[in-house]
Amino acid sequence: MLIVLHLLTKSMSINNRVGQIIKKTTISKSAFSKATGISTVILSHISSGRNKVSVTAVEQILTAYPKVNAEWLLLGKGQMFKDGIDTETTDMLQYQIQHLSEELERFYKATNGKLTKLLTSIDDLKG
């Protein structure tokens, strides 16, 4: 299994590897954009293959995520991370999970309130 993953990663383009980093380090391209300073438009162009990954973009990624293995990013050799995800990344992910949890709670309350009003309206119509 590890050999298959290694071969898949090795044949993966740098654009695909950037996509993998986005998936592993953030919840969205927007969050990755904020962390790296690479515009969401450029990230979309990289994802679609329209743009190649520039040296500047590589520098921005490696600066924002110092645990990303540069050799893996550039050449597809080795592991994605030098020695696992760093605490800064896990802290950021925990913050994002908390934020999503709060957002989900707000959505639930808003939806539940609307549902209650609709059920009340139906009961009123029934008489």
What's the pLDDT score for residue 83? 76
**pLDDT of 85-116, one tens digit each?**
556 677 788 888 998 999 999 999 889 988 89
Q: Of residues 86 and 49, which shows the higher confidence score?
A: 49
Query: Whose structure tokens read 């808003």?
Result: 110
Residue 21 carries which DSSP code?
A: H
Its pTM surpasses 0.85: no
Q: What is the mean pLDDT of residues 64-88?
A: 84
Residue 71 in this model has a pLDDT that exceeds 60: yes
Residue 29 in this model has a pLDDT that exceeds 80: yes
Residues 6+ apart with CB under 8 A from 31: 96
Residue 80 in this model has a pLDDT that exceeds 90: no
48 vs 29: CA distance, rounded Å = 13
Measured in whole angstroms, the distance separating CA 13 from the mean position of its chain's CA atoms is: 18
**pLDDT of 3-26, one tens digit each?**
444 444 445 799 999 999 999 988
Q: Select from 38, 87, 31 the least CA-distant residue to 60.
A: 38
What's the pLDDT score for residue 4? 42
86 vs 66: CA distance, rounded Å = 9
CB-CB contact of 69 with 76 (8 Å): no
